[in-house]
Structure 1
Amino acid sequence: MTLSSEQRITLHGFNNLTKTLSFNMYDVCFTKTKEERDAYIEYIDEQYNADRLTKILKNVSDIIGAHVLNIAQQDYVPQGSSVTILVSEGPVVEVPDESSYDESPGPLPDNVVFQLDKSHITVHTYPEFHPTEGISTFRADIDVSTCGEISPLKALNYLIHSFDTDIMTMDYRVRGFTRNIEGDKLFIDHEINSIQNYIPDEVKELYDMIDVNIYPENIFHTKCKLKNFDLNNYLFGFTKDELKPGEEKEITAKLKKEMDEIFYGKNMN
């Protein structure tokens, strides 16, 4: 059910729907030596430290029209970072109109155009590596949870452009209910067919994508894996020209296996 500017449904009290977007990204890399592996982890920790992640989440707050109440951030030892931002309704430029509910990519952070009430935004990072195969991976988990009329899906376009990612998984769920003035429950207040509709076409062209949607439960899932594979993009500290005969094929197989296991969510022996 879409709430257009012409046919806005009158609610009984505050809109109590909770809308949560979970955005997960993965970066995969091959390192030949322990020194290269340690350097990759150090690079990732610097590239996605708590300060930079805080800037990303602040921009997400701007996109969804939030006012930052509190920020907690932490860089961990030996690796990884976390940021949590509590937000409330921010400055309102205009009441959300019909475009706020369109299934289309959201903006990059240049102005505030949405309403938001109590909410939170979090990010956690997880650098890790295989004990023997030379594979290193980096994962970032971001959750944007809002209460009220707007959807955090409008921040998805910006999040995609904020990370250099090989694999993405996205979940969106609407929980709870709100009531109209007659007391009838509304379990969702906007139409949605797929998370893919919030991803720009030029991005979708780069990825193989799978949807799993449970419409009666208001649960939506999309996962993406890069179509094109260039081995040089996955080698840290060296190029494929420096590999010995047979190594290119072996390393390519390891990397593709790692990416397929992440994408399909199961071990492939």
Structure 2
Amino acid sequence: MDGTKKLNLHGFNNLTKSLSFSLYDISWAKSDTHRNDYLKYIDQQYNADRLTNILREVVEIIDANILNIARQDYEPQGASVTMLISERTQTIAAHLDKSHICVHTYPESHPHNGISTFRADIEVSTCGIISPLKALNFLIHSFDSDVVTLDYRVRGFTRDIRGAKHYIDHDISSIQNFVSEDVHNRYEMVDVNVYQENIFHTKMMLKELNIQRHVFGLGVGSLSQFEQNQAKQMLSKEIKEIFYGRNLD
């Protein structure tokens, strides 16, 4: 990872690095049938098998080994996958068995206005020198998200050969430092960081609302101009409410 400090350690690197995502996809469906079809589509698109494949790729990107996989599809909707992982280059794997990757999905729909939302929560938690930030852009690209909230935290400490404690082993001022240029171009981003605690939080919201991409089950051409404007207004409000974390009147 860029900015990693080369420390001569006494024993293991005991730092825990956790990268957490909440990724939201928002759609508008005109009828109850279309809303039900949306939930079915999401369940098929992001079932346990597909999520497992995404997490396998994450393991490759961060150069780790899979020790165990647990996965489950739920009724009526949703799926979960958890992987226990270890560092490939670490000879004593038991120390790193505490590293894991997990994903949970939450499809839902508004009971009245046609808005349907899919949320995926992902956590990549690693011990030692494995960096979850290496998988940041891959995971953002793996989901068609309108809003993304990111949390990165480094916990604990590790000691160098002199016995001094180190509470972080790499340079970081923002999660945005590790976001690719194309992602920067697509999203507005805001940081809420607590530097003294090694806690970093970034919120991302899609810059441009493409009504065609957000209408499910119908082409925009089949909607009247009034319906298009209404759908766009509701979608925009939903995206902003999720981004700001509060209901907007």
Q: Residue 134 and residue 9 in structure 1: after superposition, are their counterparts in 2 closer, same or farther (change >3 A)?
A: same
2:124 equivalent to 1:144: yes
Out of 77, 80, 83, the position equivalent to 2:81 is 83
Deviation track 1:46-71 (CA, whole Å, cap 9, x = no partner) reads 00000010011011011111111110
CA distance in 2, matches of 1:54, 1:91: 23
Moved over 2 A (4+): none
Which residue of the partner structure matches residue 117 of structure 1?
96
Q: Are the equivalent residues in 1 in contact too, given 2:63–2:130 (CA < 8 A)?
A: no
CA distance in 2, matches of 1:69, 1:256: 42
- Per-residue deviation, 1:245: 4.6
TM-score by length of 1: 0.87
TM-score by length of 2: 0.93
Which residue of the partner structure matches residue 17 of structure 1?
15
Q: How many residues align?
A: 242
Q: Residue 200 and residue 34 in structure 1: after superposition, are their counterparts in 2 closer, same or farther (change >3 A)?
A: same
- Per-residue deviation, 1:150: 2.8
2:152 equivalent to 1:172: yes
Describe how 1:1-269 pairs up with structure 2 within 5 A: 3-4=4-5, 8-90=6-88, 117-118=96-97, 119-269=99-249
Alignment-mate amino acid for residue 230 of structure 1: N
CA distance in 2, matches of 1:82, 1:185: 37
Unmatched 5+ residue regions in structure 2? none
- Per-residue deviation, 1:9: 2.0
- Per-residue deviation, 1:3: 4.7
SS at match of 1:13: coil
Q: Residue 145 and residue 237 in structure 1: after superposition, are their counterparts in 2 closer, same or farther (change >3 A)?
A: same
CA distance in 1, matches of 2:148, 2:234: 19
CA distance in 1, matches of 2:130, 2:209: 37
- Per-residue deviation, 1:239: 2.0
CA distance in 1, matches of 2:139, 2:224: 38
Bigger Cα displacement from structure 2, 139-148 vs 240-249:
240-249
Q: Are the equivalent residues in 2 in contact too, given 1:66–1:117 (CA < 8 A)?
A: no
CA distance in 1, matches of 2:148, 2:46: 17
Alignment-mate amino acid for residue 129 of structure 1: S
SS at match of 2:52: helix
Alignment-mate amino acid for residue 36 of structure 1: H
CA RMSD of aligned residues (A): 1.4
